[in-house]
Amino acid sequence: MEIIIDIEDSEPLFAQLVTQIKQAVLSGKILPGDSLPSIRQLAGDLRLNNKTVAKAYRLLERDSVIEAKGYRGTFIHPQAVANSTVDINDIITRKLGDTIQALRTSGATDSEIRIVFAELMKAHQEQGVNL
């Protein structure tokens, strides 16, 4: 499982971690019963504060996506797939909102943004890329 944290993203780091673990569960990249790295290990790998990873793990445990088994480690919960719903509309709204704001700050007009977005969507559809 590859986790990429974007420190420039407006989404908090712990929330990025929660979202990516849920997406990995939904996509089958990690399966119920699979072990996760310890908080300290993952924090070191991602160069995050231990408290950031601990907060993400707490939220995932609250949602029954992961389960801590004491000294044996942290594992993907048996019902993780059902409990890993990700609000894709929220993700789209946030990402596009940030992108639109950055483009406006760079001087792009709403009309220019719409035209380029429509062209990109058309190009992806013609290439058979499912966005």
For 13-62, write each residue's pLDDT tens digit. Answer: 999 999 999 999 999 999 999 999 999 999 999 999 999 999 999 999 99
Cβ atoms within 10 Å of 87's Cβ, excluding its own: 10
Residue 128: pLDDT over 90: no
Distance separating the N- and C-terminal Cα atoms of the chain: 21
Higher per-residue pLDDT: 45 or 129? 45
Cβ atoms within 10 Å of 36's Cβ, excluding its own: 20
If you average pLDDT over residues 94-98, what whole number do you get?
Answer: 88
Residue 66: pLDDT over 90: yes
Q: Are the C-beta atoms of 39 and 53 separated by less than 8 Å?
A: yes
Please give the mean pLDDT across all residues of the chain. 92
> pLDDT at position 130, please?
56
> pLDDT at position 73, please?
96
CATH node for 13-83: 1.10.10.10
> pLDDT at position 95, please?
86
Domain ranges for the chain, please list them.
13-83, 88-126
Residue 131: pLDDT band with limits 50, 70, 90: very low
If you average pLDDT over residues 83-92, what whole number do you get?
Answer: 77
Among the listed residues 98, 78, 74, 94, the one whose alpha carbon sits nearest the alpha carbon of residue 86: 94
Residue 129: pLDDT over 70: no
Within the chain, residue ranges assigned H as helices are 13-27, 39-46, 50-62, 80-83, 88-105, 110-126
How far CA 19 is from CA of 36, 57, 92, in Å, comes to: 15, 11, 13
Whole-number Å distance between alpha carbons of 108 and 17: 31
